[in-house]
């Protein structure tokens, strides 16, 4: 039984390595190979919220407004976000993701898709069906 567990561990470790390679390639394509996990989390939060203001982002991330301002300024320099005044109230500024910012925020999803495509390309159709069937059984 121990051998099987080790074998499964190695297979899963290889899959995670493949997924990480896919994630790294996405960040490299964006010219941001040095982006931090925390920065990615902030971009994900902005992506999930849609209309997010500085105050709301500070609240969601449990940071001060000056910290959020500094972070947004950095993201602007990285070309990941831009500021957009509200059409209804010019005092309200929304933080919006650029295409580059969206790609980074959704990198987990994109990396998983790339990994899936690599897996499917390496398998014949019967093996693809077998893999899908086996993975559906995992809870």
| 0.85 surpassed by pTM | no
Say if CB 108 and CB 66 are below 8 A apart: no
- Coil, strand or helix at 93: strand
Q: Which of 84, 119, 86, 112 is nearest to 98 (CA)?
A: 84
Question: Which domain covers residue 97, as residue numbers?
Answer: 2-137
Say if CB 115 and CB 15 are below 8 A apart: yes
The structural domain count of the chain equals 1
Between CA 90 and CA 92 the distance in angstroms is 5
- Tens digit of pLDDT at every position of the chain (139 positions): 688 899 989 998 998 888 888 888 888 888 877 788 889 999 999 999 988 999 999 999 999 999 999 999 999 999 999 999 999 888 999 999 999 999 999 988 888 899 899 989 999 999 999 998 988 998 8
CATH number for the domain harbouring residue 94: 1.10.10.10
Q: Which residues contact 43 (CB under 8 A, 6 or more apart)?
A: 75, 80, 81, 97, 101, 104, 105
């Amino acid at each position: 039984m121990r051998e099987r567990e080790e074998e499964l561990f190695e297979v899963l470790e290889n899959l995670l390595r493949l997924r990480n390679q896919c994630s790294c390639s996405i960040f490299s394509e964006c010219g941001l190979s040095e982006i931090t996990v925390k920065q990615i989390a902030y971009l994900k939060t902005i992506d999930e919220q849609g209309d997010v203001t500085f105050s709301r982002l500070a609240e969601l991330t449990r940071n001060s407004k000056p910290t959020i301002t500094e972070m947004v300024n950095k993201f602007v320099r990285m070309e990941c976000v831009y500021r957009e005044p509200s059409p209804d109230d010019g005092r309200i500024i929304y933080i919006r993701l650029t295409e580059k910012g969206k790609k980074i925020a959704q990198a987990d999803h994109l990396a998983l898709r790339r990994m899936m495509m690599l897996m499917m390309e390496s398998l014949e159709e019967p093996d693809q069906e077998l893999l899908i069937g086996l993975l559906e059984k995992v809870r």
